[in-house]
Amino acid sequence: MIRPPIRWLVRSPLVSIWVFNYKKFNRMKRLLLLLLLVTGFLVSCQQSFMELTDPTKIPTDQLFSTATNVSAAVTGVYSQLQPIYNNSYFIFGEMASDNAYEPVSANARYFFSIFNVEENNPNLQTMWTDSYRCISRANTVLARAGAVSMDTTLRNRYLAEMKFIRALNYFNLVRIWGAVPLVTEDLGDNYQKAYDYGRTPATEVYAQITKDLREAAAGLPITYPAADLGRATRTAAKGLLGKVLLTQGQYQQAAAVLGELIPGTPSAGNLSSVHTLETNYDNVFSTANEMNKEILFAVRYLSGGVSLGSGFASNFLPTYSGTDIIRVGLSGGPMIRQDLANAFPEGDRRKSVSIGYYTKGNSAATSDYYTRKYIVNGAPFARNDGDNDWIVLRYADVLLMYAEALNEGGQATEALPYLNTVRTRAGLSPLSNQSQAQLRLALENERRLELSYEGHRWFDLVRTNRLLPVLNAFYAKYAAIPSTPQVPNNGLFVNSGGSVVQVQAYQTLFPLPLSERQYNPKLTQNEGY
């Protein structure tokens, strides 16, 4: 049987280029634009390295023939991160938690809110496809750039960037699904070869991630000029490596790597002065202050009708126009649970930045909470054309991870100051005299407040083996409402069947997408699905 092309290896039958298909492109553009030569390679280095150029500028017979085209290829790989973080990542990180919920049961995201995700949920396929497409394009650059005559230093930097992006994608995949196909070769036109891959054990996937990040850190610069901000840096690779090690329970190694980024630690070096906390929490998310000193890595977006804008403002706010509350309860946007709003203590400066509350009469939903982190400086914006970047890793996260690594290694006293540094910026008094168990819970709570709506909560709870106790306690707070098909109640809802949501142990992983398993019988399903 001839099986169809893998979704992330789709090529045009007319020219050997990959089809670039952002949801934001209108139908005519999708028909006319065969974007991204081999890896999405249509991006130039003009005002920003993420800005598109005319697709006819790079003929197909010149693929990987010049340094300029390699540069365009690399940028095309970065561009493939955009749909991942614009469309899918948040759903796993926040909606499958006590932070956010989907108020409309007809939306596939709703089932993440009640832990009833089945293998045919389209969000699974979207995340899988977009991630492997990005990995495949990175693999192509890694395989082909070596044959191009170009500056060796620049080529090595590009290869390091690709290893960082590949590692980032595999880190997301292995946390969501566990054992996943580990593809590190350029499959080229031989898409059928993708079916040779079954599920690689998670330990082997983590080994490849760690290898890629160590090699990336060795080849990446510490900083870039303004036009290149958003590319992977050495500190980004170190920070992500620290999180990977922490996720695997390698606390001593994680502390050593993360400590390189923090002044005064035993492993501090020339990287420890690169990043620091922004003085004001709201400055971290301001579109007028993007790629600020707190950010280690962010996925960049450009507004202005170039089809590179983000959808965070229109997706997460209850208004499109800035003048009327029309979204929530009507078209269904992810909203903050009241439990998260209640978790902020009195005087926490982060609450007003993180959470907004609205009331509207004559609506299906008259009041609710929403996040304010993605407001575009109060200015009008077009739907899916926001300028907000998605922050993947920032310095506050590094400080809290470092504290966690120290605490899990039995150094609660040494860990506490790093937690208190984050609390102090928030306007909260420092904690003192914390046992390991107390500090563990304090860090869990601090991460929830500091990093809310940034895609961390579900991953954090799984990493610390706290998903079941935390979420089952959360759902148990609220009585079942069997007489109503769906009652959002500010996110304090349970399922409509009359029984409280009960998170099971197997739900620390998600089901593999149905269609992937239908085409590739080597992909076995996760237990419980």
pLDDT at position 311 over 70: no
User: 42 with 35: CB under 8 angstroms?
Assistant: yes
CA dist., res. 339 & res. 351, Å (int):
13
- Please name every residue paired with 335 in a beta bridge, in sequence order, or none if there are none: 101
Query: Where does residue 290 fall: left (phi above 0), alpha (psi -120 to 50 degrees), or beta otherwise?
Result: beta
pLDDT at position 228 over 60: yes
User: 173 with 209: CB under 8 angstroms?
Assistant: no
CA dist., res. 180 & res. 123, Å (int):
17
DSSP assignment string, 360-409: -SSSS--EEEEE-TT--TT----TT-B---EEEEEHHHHHHHHHHHHHHT
pLDDT at position 185 over 60: yes
Stated length of the chain: 529
Higher pLDDT, 425 or 475: 425
pLDDT digits (tens, 9 = 90+) for 121-172: 999 999 999 999 999 999 999 999 999 999 999 999 999 999 999 999 999 9
User: 216 with 239: CB under 8 angstroms?
Assistant: no
- Please report whether residue 346 resides in a domain: yes
Q: What is the pLDDT of residue 483?
A: 39
- Please report whether residue 112 resides in a domain: no
Q: What is the DSSP letter of 56?
A: G
- Please report whether residue 182 resides in a domain: no
Strands (E), 102-197: none
- Please report whether residue 290 resides in a domain: no
Count of beta carbons in the 10 Å neighbourhood of residue 243? 22
pLDDT digits (tens, 9 = 90+) for 268-298: 999 999 999 999 999 999 888 999 999 999 9
355 token code pair = 């959470």
What three-state secondary structure class fits 383? coil
CA dist., res. 124 & res. 122, Å (int):
5
pLDDT digits (tens, 9 = 90+) for 146-158: 999 999 999 999 9
Most confident of 62-76, 82-96, 232-246: 232-246
User: What is the maximum span of the chain, computed from C-alpha positions, in angstroms?
Assistant: 69
- Please report whether residue 347 resides in a domain: yes
Residue ranges making up the domain that contains 351: 312-388
User: 261 with 272: CB under 8 angstroms?
Assistant: yes
- Please report whether residue 328 resides in a domain: yes
Q: What is the pLDDT of residue 64?
A: 87
CA dist., res. 456 & res. 343, Å (int):
16
394 token code pair = 């920032």
Query: Of 109-123, 426-440, 462-476, 493-507, where does mean pLDDT reach its minimum?
Result: 493-507
CA dist., res. 373 & res. 100, Å (int):
14
Residue environment code for 179-213, b if the CB has 16+ CB neighbours within 10 A, otherwise e:
bbbbbeebbbeebeebeebebbebeebbebbbebb
User: 77 with 164: CB under 8 angstroms?
Assistant: no
User: 48 with 300: CB under 8 angstroms?
Assistant: yes
- Please report whether residue 117 resides in a domain: no
* pLDDT bracket for residue 337 (50, 70, 90): confident
Number of domains in the chain: 1
Average pLDDT along the chain: 81
Q: What is the CA radius of gyration of the chain?
A: 23
Higher pLDDT, 86 or 26: 86
393: which residues sit within 8 A by CB, 6+ positions away? 236, 239, 240, 243, 295, 296, 297
pLDDT at position 210 over 90: yes
Tell me the whole-structure pTM to 2 decimals: 0.84
The arithmetic mean of pLDDT across residues 396-421, rounded, is 99
User: 258 with 402: CB under 8 angstroms?
Assistant: yes
* pLDDT bracket for residue 111 (50, 70, 90): very high
User: 334 with 414: CB under 8 angstroms?
Assistant: no
Give the whole-number percent of the chain exceeding pLDDT 70.
Answer: 72
pLDDT digits (tens, 9 = 90+) for 14-70: 223 333 333 332 222 222 232 333 334 433 333 445 443 433 445 444 678 899 999
